[in-house]
Structure 1
Amino acid sequence: MPLKIHLTLKSSNQKTGEIPVSTSSADTCPPSCPLRRCGCYALSGPVFLHWRAVSEGRRGSDWGEFCSQVAALPEGQLWRHNQAGDLPGANGVIDKKLVCQLVEANRGRRGFTYTHYPMTKRNAAVVAHANEHGFTVNLSANNLTHADELADLDVGPVVTLVPEGSPSRTVTPAGRKVILCPAQDSVAISCASCGICARHHRGFVVAFKPHGTQRRQANSIAEA
């Protein structure tokens, strides 16, 4: 099935806030992602129902139309690519051409996303290009040790899973500063009012505690 993407211009998710949010079909998730089959928050609730509709082709648009929608967003607009799904690609390889199209469409806007794609030399080059040209791609780590490994690559900012009960401030085994997602730390904060995941050069790792109905499975990954 062709790649499908849906752009919600005004999210109703409390943690995200009222910013544009996209959803990519499930086949964009790389096989290497440990949350792909079990543990991902997007595998339950309203997000899952929406994601399934996009994945089955009942909702959304093709990549070209999606990029046109992004290019039509107001200058300076903060927006999140992929509340569910990952960058376009197949068999663990990011599609450079499609990502470059999105980077160009995002020019002048503040798009950000996360990826669980393995950071092979080829994938890392695509991610580095996106980050250097204003579209922030956060490398998603499974735990604090993995966060250090990804940060050592120096191709983009890093986010990581941390176990339930983790403090709001901590450090990785290598001593890197780790700050819990402010929207998880306070109901008064959302992505719309925070925006740290859209900052390429931020100097710290952003942590996320497992949430959703599959948080136990995600927690076991964070504790590994």
Structure 2
Amino acid sequence: MDMSQLYEALLQYIESENYQEIDAKTFYRKIFPEGILEKEGGSEGKPNGILVTKDASGKPTGHSAISDELNEILNLDPDSEAVMAPISYYGQNLTGRNGGVLHALTITVPVQRVAELERLLAILTQSVFLKATYFVLTVESIQLYYVYEEGVAMTGEAQKELIAQKQVLIDRFNELLGLTKPIAMTPLADRLPIIGTVSGKDRLPVRAFQVKLK
């Protein structure tokens, strides 16, 4: 089964289980609540999100500041490829010293079979400890988003604690899932495909779904 066939099989399973699909506006408004980011043309000194666009080969072509209105995300061409981290930055620089607040902890799960997704979703919907806010389907993986109601300032000590929390989650998932390819640690500022765009060489839609406890 190639990647596009796997994507379609995973999507079919998700839809058969009636998970609620979340559009880009709802998804990113949850991550960046109204008033958190600087408004378009504003000068209040608030942070911005940062998105990075890519060409068909996956090479970065530029970056844009995301304002409170989220128009930079919502106006993306649905056939384009773009990524971002759930972090608000002070300034349009992706260096760690400009990172202000982490708004979601993310875990990338390299699902290789429908049975692995079935086990993952069973865990997500039955465990309060492991329940994510959303899961995202891309052509390469399933991404889990643990959204913070209030963001976490990315001080040096806080980053150590967040990395430790993330490692605990990853270890627990690897223990329970028995994946063909185990989950690996990724940076807190991992840039992930944006909802409503496409990903991978097959350029398939990036789609988000809500997790609900059973």
TM over 0.5, yes or no? Answer: no
Instruction: Report the structure, 1 or 2, having the larger strand content.
Output: 2
Q: Under a length normalisation based on structure 2, what TM-score does the superposition of the two structures give?
A: 0.27
Instruction: Report the structure, 1 or 2, having the larger helix content.
Output: 1
